[in-house]
Amino acid sequence: MKVRCICATLVVSLFAGMAPASASQDWRKTGSADKKIASLVEAMPATGNVMIEMGERYKNLYWAAKQGQWEFAAYQAEEMEELLDKLKIVHPELRKTVNEFLGSMYPRMPNTIKARNWEKFAAMFEDLRTECMACHGKNEHGFITLPIPKKASSPVLDME
């Protein structure tokens, strides 16, 4: 019985001691402005994290157009552009190549999607693939190549 009391007292005192320490270390509440900024910069997604979502949107863009779901294709293109705009903010060293990519590809994409013509879209998509891989090469990631997507990940697209 005495051992249980000592253990219980030890556990309670450990948890009691941890609560104030962990609360005082929450940089969001107690950190200086410099600490908060440094922590936010550190928490920014890596380029690879952004590109994982970009890859999903790339696949969904292709299959939305292939299935004639043009509104969903337009949505994917808009989301891809938004991701690239965010990438310029979180990784300013990529701003130049992202702007080059956006300047070469994105002016064509909305009109091609609005045309609702698979053949025109397929040609534009091939140019998009080429430009994506050229951008990868400019950023020392030329080993990242993009195939024509075999399937999409969105439940909006029926891939069964």
Neighbours of 59 (CB within 10 A): 22
What's the pLDDT at 7? Answer: 43
- Look up tokens 């908060």; give the residue: 36
Please give the Cα distance from 29 to 18 (Å, whole number): 17
| pTM to 2 decimal places | 0.77
Helix (H) or strand (E) holding 118: helix 118-138
Q: What is the pLDDT of residues 67-121, one digit of tens each?
A: 999 999 999 999 999 999 999 999 999 999 999 999 988 899 999 999 999 999 9
Higher pLDDT, 14 or 147: 147
What's the pLDDT at 46? Answer: 83
Q: Mean pLDDT, to the nearest integer, of 118-132?
A: 96
Q: What is the pLDDT of residues 24-47, one digit of tens each?
A: 688 888 888 888 778 777 777 888
Higher pLDDT, 68 or 23: 68
Higher pLDDT, 5 or 102: 102
